[in-house]
Structure 1
Amino acid sequence: MPTPGSMNMLQISSLLTLWSLSAAAQLTLDANPFTTTQGLLAKPTISISQNTATEQMEQVTFYCYTKDANVTIQWFFKDVPLVFHERMQLSTDGKNLTILTVQREDSGIYKCEAQGFLQVHRSDPTFLTVNYGPDAFEIKLESGVSSGEVVEVIEGSTVTLSVDTRSHPPPDYSWFLLNNSLPSSSMRTFTIQAVSKEHEGMYRCLVSNIATHLLRLSALEVRVLEMLTEPHIVSPTLNLVENASSVTLTCQTSHKEAGVLWFLRGQALLPNKHLVLSANNRSLVIHGLRRDDTGPYECEVWNWGSRARSKALRLTISYWPKAMYANLPEPQGQVGVKEMLPPDPLEQFYEKDPPSTASGYYCHGPRKPPPTVALDPLVPTLPKGNTESDYEVLVNPEQNIYCQINPSV
């Protein structure tokens, strides 16, 4: 073996060349680390126990196959990392994914990815289809108004019944009125043109899914309201007398389902103890007639789609006029006068003294009592003319002195 001192130039040149190549190769590896591993991992594949499953009835298992060892398996759902939950199980090596109870939200694209040293490789997509439904639903009626468990529609209008339910694959529909199948009823909607009383009743819709073998049934009662016609008020034919017994007015209409309102003098009638309405408002009872209960009265039938009002009715009520003197004012205080009685001849009662012209009256002394005259206690007989001038005034009761006003003064 040659010693370092004995190596010739050719040998030294060969050693330098080998060292340069080795260093260049190392620098290339450090600059692009994937260059030497490109193509080492094989593309993984997915197998699935079944591509279609029924919701809440089956389970599905995915298997990610790769021929490479020492790789890590990552699962993707709809191209994002899969979020695991309590319905899923994953094997220790990550290659087996099991969905224990399939739900509709599990439908979609699945992929698995093999991750090796400095390299990853993802599989082709595998699609899972989950059949479900139909879900529970209610029948809806367009252009109708709910009244409790019944939907009301107006006679002559066009109505459409429809259902909206989630299902995969799309379900089949069957419509029934009472127990009779309806024509053209394989769609989710059913339309009736110019609805009439013969269309009234209980509607049912049966929805079925051929894949899940599930059936759903719902029902809706439809009531057809007639277009309202004018009602009229029926009153008793007997003569009405003030303060007589009660009187009943009846709003007569052929529309049994219509509501009834009453109006008095053009305003909505407010019931009270004097004006009493029946339970269904069809009758108005007037207790103890008064002379101002003549009206006019009107009744109106209504529903949410139409209304009609009767002609006005006036009552004729007989009553007794008030007493003749009922409105005369009451006398204010007491007047110290007495009514004038028909006198005996003046010479029998009065002294022959001339009247005082200054005072306008004259007085006379004692006289005999005037004769008793029977008077009507209700209507006193008064003399004609100025009544104040005809009254005698008692001036001195002890001496029976009287003064009489002289009407000519």
Structure 2
Amino acid sequence: MGLADLWGHHWAEILLIASLLTMWSLPAAVQLTSDANPLTTIQSEKDVVLSMLGTPPPGTPDSSPTIAISQDTATEQRENVTFRCSTQDADVTIHWVFNDLPLVFHERVQLSTDGKTLTILTVQREDSGTYKCEAQAFHQVRSSAPTFLTVNHGPDPFEIKLESGVSRGEVVEVIEGSTVTFSVETQSHPPPSYTWFLPYDSIPPPTMSSFTIQAVSREHEGTYRCLVSNGATHLLRLGALKVRVLETLTKPHIVPPSLNLVENASSVALTCQTPHEGAGVLWLLRGQALLPSDHLVLSADNRSLVIHGLRRDDTGPYECEVWNWGSRARSEPFRLAMSCPQSSLSAGAIGGIAIGILAVIALSAGLGCFLYIRNARRLCPWSLTDLSLHSQKEPPSVTPGNNSHGPRKPSPEVTLDPLVPTLPKGNTESHYEVLVNPERNIYGQINPSV
């Protein structure tokens, strides 16, 4: 191609550009916003024309950027990580992408002034993932290849879990004969190692995160420990779990009091006897759950029932039931046998009543004697007078003309009451005066009350 041909080719390009600029719609250019920079608009239009001619506009990235990372594996809460984005173009804007989403900046993430250096302070496990940097210029974006950051962490604190068990505070209870599974769950990268320490030596210690015991028995009761370790972070965690194996419950027995029971006794104790120490105890009275009161008192562990002030309606029947969350067993009904007096009064009250009755009898007897003596003293003087008058009369003589059929029988002797004093011999009239004189008593003394 000659020199004229070259000039002709360049003139053709110049004419094409001129025609495009001439045909460009001026009204469309006028519709630009008032705050648009004319120089920017002209530069943009020039870039469009250059792109149509196959010539890249100035500042367009020629190649994809690359990322350099200080370390692609770090330990959580111990190390920092730095990313550097490199590009051959000068007038480009750098954007960072994390797991295919725009990176969210926070206090642990620092960015350099030119945006090409990204630093993560004190890495956390959530910083693990893919990082990319993008170079953007003239509506074109070129992205780097993804760079993956791995953050080692853990193991975290954990608890040993036991299936088919029930937690009772710090102890987990399982039923004898059941199948139980121990397991551990913890967050760790890389996966940790497990070492179990068992309370028995019948099987080798497992090295997995879980293991199972078939038909658990009292031999398996005790404390289980698991040591979890991470070789990358050099962290160790230890968990422990105490296990109690509940035996199959057998029927309990009510132990009665050893003394003979009497109504109104001070107190009576019943004991629910069972070999199962961990079992709960429930008392029943006449088939219903017993409600504690001041009269019916249960011990702290419910193993003993104390009846205060025994009454005749406290005979029962009583039952005690042992239970756990897996089974129950109830005793045979038990009745109290007691000796009941006819009265429901206490022994002290009965004794007081007896003493009162005796006192009333004694008082009645004394009052009767007093009244008898008083009446005898009032009536005796008249009897003595009659006797003295009778003694002055002569007995009738027996005459031949009398209708008597024979000699008169002597009068029977009169026996005087021993309480009546014997009259002295002498003048009967004077003695009579003594008896009937109101101013003197029966002993001849002056009566002061007259």
Normalising by the residue count of structure 1, what TM-score does the alignment of the two structures yield?
0.70
CA contact (8 A) 1:103 1:130 kept: yes
The equivalent residue for 1:23 is 18
Q: Which moved more, 1:17-26 or 1:41-50?
A: 17-26
The equivalent residue for 1:158 is 179
- Establish whether residue 50 from structure 1 lines up as the match of residue 71 from structure 2: yes
The equivalent residue for 1:272 is 293
CA contact (8 A) 2:200 2:220 kept: no
* SS at structure 1 position matched to 2:225: strand
Q: 2:159 aligns with which of 138, 141, 156?
A: 138
Residue correspondence of structure 1 range 9-408 to structure 2 within 5 A: 20-24=15-19, 34-35=51-52, 36-37=55-56, 41-178=62-199, 183=204, 185-322=206-343
* SS at structure 2 position matched to 1:135: coil
Q: Given residue 176 of structure 1, which amino acid in structure 2 is its aligned partner? A: F
Find the aligned partners of 1:15 and 1:105 in 2 and give their Cα distance: 59
Q: CA deviation at 1:287?
A: 2.4
Q: Which moved more, 1:88-97 or 1:120-129?
A: 88-97
- Shift of the 289–136 alpha-carbon distance from structure 1 to 2, 3 Å rule, reads same
- Per residue, is there more helix in 1 or in 2? 2
After superposition, give the CA deviation of every residue in 1:334-379 in whole Å (9 maximum; x if it has no partner).
Answer: xxxxxxxxxxxxxxxxxxxxxxxxxxxxxxxxxxxxxxxxxxxxxx
- Shift of the 94–242 alpha-carbon distance from structure 1 to 2, 3 Å rule, reads same
Q: CA deviation at 1:206?
A: 0.9
Q: Given residue 201 of structure 1, which amino acid in structure 2 is its aligned partner? A: G
CA contact (8 A) 2:61 2:137 kept: no
Find the aligned partners of 2:112 and 2:184 in 1 and give their Cα distance: 44
After superposition, give the CA deviation of every residue in 1:203-261 in whole Å (9 maximum; x if it has no partner).
Answer: 11111111111111111111111111000111135432222342221111111111111
Find the aligned partners of 1:271 and 1:21 in 2 and give their Cα distance: 110
Find the aligned partners of 2:285 and 2:10 in 1 and give their Cα distance: 128
Find the aligned partners of 2:65 and 2:10 in 1 and give their Cα distance: 46
The number of aligned residues is 311
Q: CA deviation at 1:318?
A: 1.7
After superposition, give the CA deviation of every residue in 1:126-160 in whole Å (9 maximum; x if it has no partner).
Answer: 11111111111111211211111111111111111
Instruction: Kindly report the root-mean-square deviation, in angstroms, between the aligned alpha carbons of the 2 structures.
Output: 2.8
* SS at structure 2 position matched to 1:292: helix
Q: Given residue 262 of structure 1, which amino acid in structure 2 is its aligned partner? A: W
Q: Given residue 37 of structure 1, which amino acid in structure 2 is its aligned partner? A: P
- Shift of the 280–22 alpha-carbon distance from structure 1 to 2, 3 Å rule, reads closer
Find the aligned partners of 2:156 and 2:273 in 1 and give their Cα distance: 48
CA contact (8 A) 2:195 2:205 kept: no
Q: Which has the larger radius of gyration?
A: 2
Unaligned runs of 5+ in 2: 1-7, 25-44, 345-450
CA contact (8 A) 2:82 2:117 kept: yes
- Shift of the 228–67 alpha-carbon distance from structure 1 to 2, 3 Å rule, reads same
CA contact (8 A) 1:41 1:120 kept: no
Normalising by the residue count of structure 2, what TM-score does the alignment of the two structures yield?
0.64
CA contact (8 A) 1:176 1:182 kept: no
- Per residue, is there more strand in 1 or in 2? 1
Amino-acid identity (%): 70
